[in-house]
Chains A and B, each alone.
Chain A
């Protein structure tokens, strides 16, 4: 589904690269965790995959279902099935959550040649999806993320994921700033959305989230590269030894 080859990325306000030759392959049905200390390029990778204009690839390639992902606009990537759960979801007062999400879903459906959902159909779908996540319904009538707590914003990201049904979901530090109850809700939601047809990349600093969402593969990033990959057992080793032993 996703092949990243020798990827180098820099930010437009800097000359030095952040990602320096990264390789990763993700297949259908897999869950990958990308771990590592702050400042190693994890979030840059997540944002680049979603098409954040600030980052550009100077070398290497990213192929998603046979397409050159780096050539696509952020909205085209979303319509192709890429979804990024943001580390810091933005607040958009004045753009109602439900209206926002209906617009998004219908643009994606139109791209795929499907009929747009009517308001009633969308509300029904949103209610069904929200049974998994349990975002407070009164919040959905408000401006997007406007005045939401940190936990509510993260839940709202997963709710959006449930509605948009991406084939590749990238969760960027979704566990940061969550208390244990909210973490369980979010993890539970993600687990239920996990299927044979989609893939998930979890970017996280901590082992904690991986207690609830079990990845198939774990990768450790250091200085813009993946320096170690392994199965579930790697998380336990990291928990015990920290990251320092991988830096040299």
Chain B
């Protein structure tokens, strides 16, 4: 049994921080102070079980948090990711953008919560989870939850789940592109909205892309 790692952090006023979640079982609480900004990468591309929970509290005005999730699940991998972002003060921004691809008998559970306190006018918050299921055995549960107590708030949320579209695949193949390559291109395009946002060293990013495409090898 792997122990759940618990951590508490604070991003001080005006500072910015990028955190890549690495532990498989973890719970993280982060306070973001006034004018500070936080970026989190929640990436899981290996065949293993993970459970990650992050609670971000935007405690100071004009603070910001972005969470990018990228999950490639294969075999019997089970992943749970729960993100909660609390807007406590005015004019804070947050976004949670997740892309997940599930193959074989993998399971994914994605929960994204937004809480906007009564004092948090001028909040802008986005929560978006898109999943691509490549096999009948793969299962996904995506749950967005919004609790809004303030006025003057912009909140967007969306959850979609789908398969590779047969007509699209045929179109690409009819141009001479192999089925394999077509699926690779479609997968990368599905992930692109998150991949393009991840600023990591090129080598690291290439590794992720390779992991993403391993699903077809």
Using a CB–CB cutoff of 8 Å, the interface residues on chain A facing chain B are 50-54, 73-75, 77-79, 83-84, 86, 89-90, 92-95, 100-101, 103-105, 107-108, 111, 143, 160, 164
Q: How far is the CB of B74 from chain A (nearest CB, A)?
A: 22
- Residues A100 and B178 in contact, CB atoms below 8 Å apart: no
Q: How far is the CB of B131 from chain A (nearest CB, A)?
A: 15
- Residues B189 and A74 in contact, CB atoms below 8 Å apart: no
- Residues B178 and A107 in contact, CB atoms below 8 Å apart: yes
Residue in B165, B171, B186, B188 with the greatest tally of chain A CB atoms within 10 Å = B171
Asked if B208 is an interface residue, CB under 8 A from chain A, the answer is: no
A52 to B172, CA, bound (A): 11
Q: How far is the CB of A135 from chain B (nearest CB, A)?
A: 16
Complex partner residue of A103 from B168, B179, B181, B189, CB under 8 angstroms: B181
Asked if B192 is an interface residue, CB under 8 A from chain A, the answer is: yes
Residue in B175, B177, B188, B192 with the greatest tally of chain A CB atoms within 10 Å = B175
Closest to B178 in A: A75
7 A-B residue pairs with CB within 8 Å: A53-B166, A54-B166, A73-B179, A78-B174, A95-B185, A103-B181, A103-B185
With A74-B170, A86-B171 given, is the CB distance from A94 to B189 under 8 Å?
yes
A residues in contact with B193, CB < 8 Å:
94
- Residues A90 and B168 in contact, CB atoms below 8 Å apart: yes
Closest to B187 in A: A94
Complex partner residue of A164 from B173, B176, B179, CB under 8 angstroms: B176
Tell me the chain B residues, 146-177 only, with Cβ under 8 Å from chain A: 165-168, 170-177
Closest to A91 in B: B168
Asked if B190 is an interface residue, CB under 8 A from chain A, the answer is: yes
Chain B, residues 176-216, CB within 8 Å of chain A (1/0): the string is 11110100011011101100000000000000000000000
- Residues A95 and B179 in contact, CB atoms below 8 Å apart: no
- Residues B174 and A74 in contact, CB atoms below 8 Å apart: yes
- Residues B177 and A52 in contact, CB atoms below 8 Å apart: no
A105 to B192, CA, bound (A): 23
Closest to A80 in B: B176
- Residues A75 and B192 in contact, CB atoms below 8 Å apart: no
With A90-B167, A94-B189 given, is the CB distance from A100 to B172 under 8 Å?
yes
Closest 8 A/B residue pairs (Cβ): A94-B189, A78-B176, A74-B173, A104-B175, A108-B176, A90-B171, A75-B173, A95-B189
A residues in contact with B178, CB < 8 Å:
75, 107
Closest to B192 in A: A94
Complex partner residue of B179 from A54, A75, A101, CB under 8 angstroms: A75
Complex partner residue of A111 from B170, B176, B188, CB under 8 angstroms: B176
Complex partner residue of A53 from B165, B170, B176, CB under 8 angstroms: B170
Q: How far is the CB of A9 from chain B (nearest CB, A)?
A: 16
- Residues A103 and B177 in contact, CB atoms below 8 Å apart: yes
- Residues A84 and B174 in contact, CB atoms below 8 Å apart: yes
A101 to B41, CA, bound (A): 32
- Residues B173 and A107 in contact, CB atoms below 8 Å apart: no
Q: How far is the CB of A143 from chain B (nearest CB, A)?
A: 7
Residue in A86, A90, A164 with the greatest tally of chain B CB atoms within 10 Å = A90
